[in-house]
Structure 1
Amino acid sequence: MNYFITELKRRNQTLYFFSLICLLGALVCIAMVFLNDTVVLGINAWYKPMKFFLSTVFFSCTMGWFMYYLNRPLHTMLYSWTLISTLTFELLYITLRASQGQLSHFNISSAFNGLMFSLMGIAITIITLWTAYVAFLFWKRSFPELPTAYLWGIRFGLLLFVIFAFSGGMMAARLSHTVGSAMETTQGLPVLNWSRESGDLRIAHFFGMHALQLLPLLGFYVTRTKQQIIGLSLIYAAAVTALLFQALNALPLVPMK
């Protein structure tokens, strides 16, 4: 872990420090869970910003690590600051709404709330499209200095991240995470709040996007050949796709007894 932290700081100091700030934000949200009992959709309001802060930590660290391989300093700098600006906007708004005990996503109860929800969508689309371009570069170029299985893990990790990041558009279009019941009445798993009454689109969204970390790790530490990591990546993609179709069919991941 010490090696990873030191090396990440060397590779991308900008995203390294942004990750530390987001980690601090997550810790503050954890503290607020115990200090504040405000509830949104049946769960403590501070769990949501906590999850988004932690997700941003993982995303920032991962992209800071991968962008180094492209050897494009200007491109990396612009990508890093775009990531920081778009996600800071989203994190601040989600945190503000949590402090007010109100929804951030799907909240179109007023013209202002609708505008902010749209701006969040635009911000996420911008960084996702840029990440899609980064994925294109990894698929287009060769990287003889990288272990083959690791490289293919990065390629598939980026590809699945982009695909399932855009699956968030399904939730935006429905103005709901869930399929088969009203979001406001859904009982969910602890902390995660994934619905136990109906289908929940966040599950495939979560596992698809975190292929960005999982598949490169499998490529580096577990598999030894290109064929092995491609096989694992395809199996993983099929499993996440099955989770998406399960949710679209209004079936919960962990049904209530």
Structure 2
Amino acid sequence: MKAFLAELKRRNTLLYWYGVLSFVGAFVCILMTQLSDTIVLGINAWIKPAKFFISVALYCWTMGWIMHYLIAQHKVKKFSKMVLLVMTYELFVITWQAANGRLSHFNTTTIFYRLLFIFMGVAISVLAAWTGYIGYLFFKQKKFMVPDAYIWSIRLGIILFVIFGFEGGVMGVHLAHTVGAPDGGEGLPGINWSQRYGDLRIAHFFGMHALQILPLFGFFIAKSARIVQVFAAVYFLLTTLLFIQAAMGIPLLF
């Protein structure tokens, strides 16, 4: 683990340290779940920012690791700075609203909170689109010092991340993630996905974390690019089915 962290820091110092800070933020939020009784949508208000801090940390470390293989490092540096700006805004709003017992996403109770939410959507859309551009650079570059299977897993992981990142826009349009009932209510422990109704966050989660799952599969398991492509196609199909299931109002475990 020590060697991995040292290599990660060498590859992208900026995203390495932001990932570290995000993990620290997650730890603080988890601690706050034990110290605060503030409730939002039926669960402790600090659970949501904790999950977002962890996701941001994983995203930063993943991108910091894989972008090392690109020749265009000047573009990587610009992208890394953009990540910090977007994620800092997102995490600030989510944490600040949670600390005050308010929703961050879908909060249109005042003009100010509506604007905060709209800007979050714009910022994360820019991030997703720019991540897609990084994926384009992986397709544009023809020579790499690592196996094709691994590179294809990175390319396809980014594509799925972008697709299901924008799937979050469906939730934004409907101002809710639950289909068939208002947000809140009984959910799966920890992740809080609805146990009774469709939940659009499930496909969003699995689709975006293809960014980690596919490269891990390509590095440790796959022996050829074709195997990666088949795995990615199946992964996309299953995640799409999760989205359709949620859109029909059917819970994950029915």
Query: What TM bracket, shorter-length normalisation?
Result: over 0.9
Instruction: Give runs of aligned pairs for residues 33-112 of structure 1, distance below 5 A.
Output: 33-112=33-112
8 Å CA contact retained: 2:69, 2:144: no
Shift of 1:136: 1.1
Residues in 1 aligned to 2:233 and 2:73: alpha-carbon distance in whole angstroms: 32
Shift of 1:140: 2.4
2:203 match:
204
TM-score, normalised on structure 1? 0.97
Shift of 1:144: 3.3
8 Å CA contact retained: 1:43, 1:191: no
Residues in 1 aligned to 2:59 and 2:215: alpha-carbon distance in whole angstroms: 13
1:162-190 Cα shifts (integer Å, max 9, x gaps): 00000000000000001111114x32111
Shift of 1:73: 2.6
2:131 match:
131
Shift of 1:209: 0.3
Residues in 1 aligned to 2:25 and 2:118: alpha-carbon distance in whole angstroms: 24
Residues in 1 aligned to 2:143 and 2:218: alpha-carbon distance in whole angstroms: 14
Match of 2:3, SS state, is helix
1:69-122 Cα shifts (integer Å, max 9, x gaps): 112232111101100010110101100011101100000001001000001011
Matched AA of 2:228: I
Matched AA of 2:189: P
Instruction: Give runs of aligned pairs for residues 1-257 of structure 1, distance below 5 A.
Output: 1-184=1-184, 186-255=185-254
Match of 1:181, SS state, is coil
Residues in 1 aligned to 2:136 and 2:179: alpha-carbon distance in whole angstroms: 33
Residues in 1 aligned to 2:221 and 2:77: alpha-carbon distance in whole angstroms: 32
Which moved further from structure 2: 145-154 or 54-63? 145-154
8 Å CA contact retained: 1:187, 1:196: yes
Residues in 2 aligned to 1:170 and 1:248: alpha-carbon distance in whole angstroms: 10
Residues in 1 aligned to 2:15 and 2:75: alpha-carbon distance in whole angstroms: 14
Number of residues paired by the alignment?
254
Residues in 2 aligned to 1:46 and 1:143: alpha-carbon distance in whole angstroms: 45
8 Å CA contact retained: 1:143, 1:151: no
1:185-244 Cα shifts (integer Å, max 9, x gaps): x32111111011110000000000000001011011011011111111111111100100
8 Å CA contact retained: 2:26, 2:50: yes
Residues in 2 aligned to 1:245 and 1:209: alpha-carbon distance in whole angstroms: 16
Shift of 1:145: 1.2
8 Å CA contact retained: 1:30, 1:47: yes
TM-score, normalised on structure 2? 0.98
Residues in 2 aligned to 1:140 and 1:177: alpha-carbon distance in whole angstroms: 36
Q: Deviation above 6 Å: which 4+ runs of structure 1? A: none
